[in-house]
């Protein structure tokens, strides 16, 4: 629970710091940088988490709880269909910006959702690639 709260706080604080900027779009861009730092941490040799909790924290700071809930519901529904955490996250990261655009949300909200989703998407694709590589090595080792 503490890890979840800490990861969410990263996104929330990044957006809060962005609000201090005189550049109007900054609060909506900063969470993507927090997600990137979380996903590819310098301290962990560019390894890290998946960015979902950090995304939710940023979402709570720049939109409202309903947007965060919609994103989680979309990912959850896709997970039930695909039964794979990374693949369902990839699909959600593609569909959420589309849904945001169709819903007629503000340019700022679309900027937040698009940049943050892209950052999460890149990490999830990396995870899928790593799992495929591990599976290939496993199969080679067993001679199958």
Comparing 48 with 59, which gets the higher pLDDT? 59
- pLDDT for residue 104: 94
Q: What is the pLDDT of residues 12-41, one digit of tens each?
A: 999 999 999 999 999 999 999 999 999 999
Domain ranges of the chain: 2-142
Alpha carbons 15 and 110: distance in angstroms, whole number: 15
- pLDDT for residue 9: 97
Alpha carbons 42 and 22: distance in angstroms, whole number: 28
Mean pLDDT value across residues 60-72: 91
CB 88 within 8 A of CB 75: yes
Comparing 141 with 62, which gets the higher pLDDT? 62
- pLDDT for residue 144: 59
**Element counts in the chain: helices (H) and strands (E):** 6, 0
Residue 64 has pLDDT above 90, yes or no: no
- pLDDT for residue 45: 84
Q: Where are the alpha helices (DSSP H) in 48-106?
A: 52-62, 65-82, 85-102
Comparing 144 with 44, which gets the higher pLDDT? 44
């Amino acid at each position: 629970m503490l890890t979840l709260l800490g990861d969410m706080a990263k996104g929330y604080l990044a957006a809060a710091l962005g609000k201090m900027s005189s550049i109007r779009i900054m609060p909506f861009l900063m969470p993507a940088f927090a997600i990137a730092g979380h996903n590819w941490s310098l301290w962990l040799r560019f390894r890290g988490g998946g960015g979902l909790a950090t995304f939710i924290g940023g979402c709570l700071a720049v939109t409202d709880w309903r947007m965060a809930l919609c994103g989680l519901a979309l990912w959850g529904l896709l997970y039930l269909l695909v039964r794979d955490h990374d693949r369902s996250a990839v699909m959600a990261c593609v569909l959420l910006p589309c849904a945001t655009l169709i819903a007629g949300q503000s340019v700022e909200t679309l900027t937040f959702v698009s940049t943050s989703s892209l950052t999460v998407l890149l990490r999830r694709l990396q995870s899928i690639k790593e799992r495929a590589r591990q599976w290939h090595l496993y199969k080679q080792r067993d001679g199958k």
